[in-house]
Chains A and B, each alone.
Chain A
């Protein structure tokens, strides 16, 4: 019989009693997302593999101490993020994260440069379909192009290139699909700061996709 371990209390009890199916369930469910998370902090796939292996060892050693004040998922991600930050800092000497000074001044560029707007009462130019911002049209890319491997690879790179605090929030919210409450809890952010980081990150990713679609159109 397959046991459903999606309830944290059931899962934690089973892990503490040494149930291998419970641990296997946890591995199948979280290994790949945890490795993807780790890979955002470290420069190579091999290092990300090391970080996740260390994470699982830390999980096994720490499961007796898990108090259930956060969900097991949050606890796992906290462990992998801590291990990966430590390792990433050692490898590349970059440390800033959402709780570090500078997180909110890093990359505080406007969503669109001011020269993208024209005065709202300027009716001398061609009708651009907008009040002061011309209509943008890359959402008219064919779906096959939008969802193509090349676009997704570019998107992945754009997220990785974000300042660390924005990258963490965008990855958890938009890639992993966490709620804002989960992200605030896991990263120790206020709702407002979380939204600021999320918006700045999304704005940069949007911009990267725009450049990509525009450069490929003019070819």
Chain B
């Protein structure tokens, strides 16, 4: 068995990480890229890091859940009430 030919340069891979993750690459390109990933620890680590960046970014919105403090809620609710009362 001959080893696979790796014709995928690392500097090209790093520019295609997002396209790869988005499923935007043509299937033949995906095969070449995954062959390269299988033998290149450097590029595999770049892929891992992009995935980590995405995962950590998602954590930034976690503090958004939960009800508003009354001091924030009341003025806006009052605007809604006024609008509702005056619309007819």
**A binding-site residues for B, Cβ under 8 Å:** 18, 20, 23-24, 27-28, 31-33, 36, 49, 53, 56-57, 60-61, 110-112, 114, 117, 120, 128-139, 146-147, 151-152, 155-156, 159, 170, 174-177, 180, 191, 195, 198-199, 202-203, 205-206, 209-210
- B12-51: CB near A (< 8 Å → 1, else 0) gives 0111011100101000000000001001111111101110
Q: Does B60 sit within 8 A of A, measured CB to CB?
A: yes
A130 touches B18 (CB 8 A): no
Count class of interface residues, chain B: 35 or more
- Counted as pairs of residues, one from A and one from B, with CB atoms less than 8 Å apart, the total is 160
Interface majority SS on B: helix, strand, loop or mixed?
helix
**Chain B contacts of A159 at CB under 8 A?**
57, 60
Q: Does B2 sit within 8 A of A, measured CB to CB?
A: no
**Chain A contacts of B14 at CB under 8 A?**
110-112, 133, 203
Closest 6 CB pairs of A and B: A130-B42, A18-B84, A133-B42, A129-B41, A199-B18, A174-B57
Q: Does B68 sit within 8 A of A, measured CB to CB?
A: yes
Interface majority SS on A: helix, strand, loop or mixed?
helix
Pull 25 A–B residue pairs with CB atoms less than 8 Å apart, ordered by A.
A23-B80, A27-B73, A28-B67, A31-B72, A32-B64, A33-B64, A36-B61, A57-B79, A60-B83, A61-B83, A117-B10, A129-B41, A133-B11, A133-B43, A137-B45, A152-B60, A155-B60, A159-B57, A174-B58, A175-B58, A202-B50, A203-B14, A205-B57, A206-B49, A210-B49
B10 touches A198 (CB 8 A): no
A33 touches B22 (CB 8 A): no
Report how far A137 CA is from B72 CA in the complex, Å: 44
**Chain B contacts of A129 at CB under 8 A?**
41-42, 45
B42 touches A175 (CB 8 A): no
Closest chain A residue, CB of each to CB of B16: A199
**Chain A contacts of B40 at CB under 8 A?**
130-131, 133
Q: Does B4 sit within 8 A of A, measured CB to CB?
A: no
- B71-82: CB near A (< 8 Å → 1, else 0) gives 011011101110
